[in-house]
Amino acid sequence: MKQMRIKIISILLWMSCMALAQETPDFSYINYEGWTYSGGDLPSTSAFLYKTSDGRVLTLISPEFSCQDIDSIAVTVTWRSYDHSIALTTAIDDSQGHPVDSVTSLPSSPASIQSFHFTIPISVHRLSSARLRFVSWEAVVENAGTILKVATSAIHVSHQPPLLGDVDGDGMINISDVTALIDYLLNESATNDTHLENLDVDDDGLIGISDITALVDILLT
């Protein structure tokens, strides 16, 4: 019963992490979902990427979202500008509003409405949460605004399969894992270094003496 409870808790924690990571905000002219436009000067404590000659900053900011378990974010943005030569910059801001990374998109045709698709890295910056921000030198902010639609999707960090027998989680199977597994069975508790997903060495759904035997067999062979 205890072993089954451990497995269920591990699965639920993994599922909750994945759910958080998928909560990247979408935007359309129909549904703003907490997105906000900012026109005019930003406070001096805020950073911006582009500023017009008259001091006006045009920014669209997304709601804050979780970056847990996200490697990068794929973004498709449809926007409207005055002419085809005006670039659009998409930035990732941290929770304090400071820019961390950005992508600048240049239109490839003279059409006033265009779509761009790109990815922005997340995991390399070790962000726990972030916001998307779109900025341009000039934009037509009317009706639905310059940004007509933003579609986002989280690209998740790839997870290595469990290394059964690597009880202490150091990436290797050795005698220290046997000691850690015995300690776990004797004390019926896990330490911060115990990797629960690797305890069931013989993969029978239970954690017991047979796992010690299986672990010793791995070391001997």
CATH number at residue 43: 2.60.120.200
What are the b/e assignments for 118-130, b being 16+ CB within 10 Å? Answer: eebbbeeeebeeb
Residue 9, pLDDT above cutoff 50? no
> What CA–CA distance (Å, rounded) separates 84 from 107?
6
Q: Is 196 helix (H, G, I), strand (E, B) or coil?
A: helix
- Amino acid present at 145: G
- Asked whether residue 171 carries a pLDDT value surpassing 80, the answer given is no
Task: For residues 4-33, give the mean pLDDT.
Answer: 57
Least confident of 63-67, 119-123, 139-143: 139-143
Q: What pLDDT band is residue 7 in, cutting at 50, 70 and 90?
A: very low
Predicted confidence (pLDDT) at residue 34 exceeds the cutoff of 70: yes
- Domain range for 187 is 160-220
- Does residue 133 form part of some domain? yes
What is the tally of structural domains in the chain? 2
Q: Which of 156, 186, 210 is the last residue of a domain?
A: 156
pLDDT mean across residues, the chain: 75
Note whether 132 and 202 are same-domain residues.
no
Find how far residue 144's CA is from the centre of its chain: 28
For residues 46 and 125, give the distance between their C-alpha atoms in angstroms, rounded to a whole number: 19
| In-domain check, residue 26 | yes
Half-sphere exposure of 5 (CA within 13 A, CB side): 4
**Residue that finishes a domain, picked among 140, 156, 172:** 156
User: DSSP 3-state helix, strand, coil percentages of the chain (rounded to 5)?
Assistant: 25, 30, 45
**One domain, residues 99 and 182:** no
List of residues 6+ apart from 28 with CB closer than 8 A = 148, 149, 150
pLDDT > 60? residue 37: yes
Q: Give the whole-angstrom CA distance, residue 221 versus residue 215.
A: 10
Are the CB atoms for 27 and 150 separated by under 8 Å?
A: yes
- pLDDT over 90 at 132, yes or no: yes
Supply angle C-alpha 49, 76, 69, rounded to 5. 85
Query: Is 22 in the same domain as 80?
Result: yes
Separation of alpha carbons 207 and 44, rounded Å: 58
Helices first, then strands: H and E counts in the chain: 3, 10
Query: Is residue 2 in a domain?
Result: no
Question: Is there a single domain that holds both residue 44 and residue 124?
Answer: yes
Q: Which of 105, 125, 156 is the last residue of a domain?
A: 156
| Residue 209 is assigned to a structural domain of this protein | yes
Give the dihedral of Cα atoms 208, 209, 210, 216; nearest 10 deg: 120
Say yes or no: 37 and 145 in one domain: yes
Q: In this predicted structure, which of 8-17, 61-70, 164-173, 208-217 has the lowest mean pLDDT?
A: 8-17
User: With the C-alpha atoms ordered 16, 19, 23, 24, is the resulting torsion angle positive or negative?
Assistant: positive
- Shared domain for 42 and 150, answered yes or no, is yes
In a domain, 8, yes or no: no
In a domain, 1, yes or no: no
Flag whether pLDDT at 193 surpasses 60.
no
Q: What is the pLDDT of residue 15?
A: 47
Tally the C-alpha atoms within 13 A of residue 106's C-alpha that lie toward its C-beta.
2
Evaluate whether residue 9 is within a structural domain: no
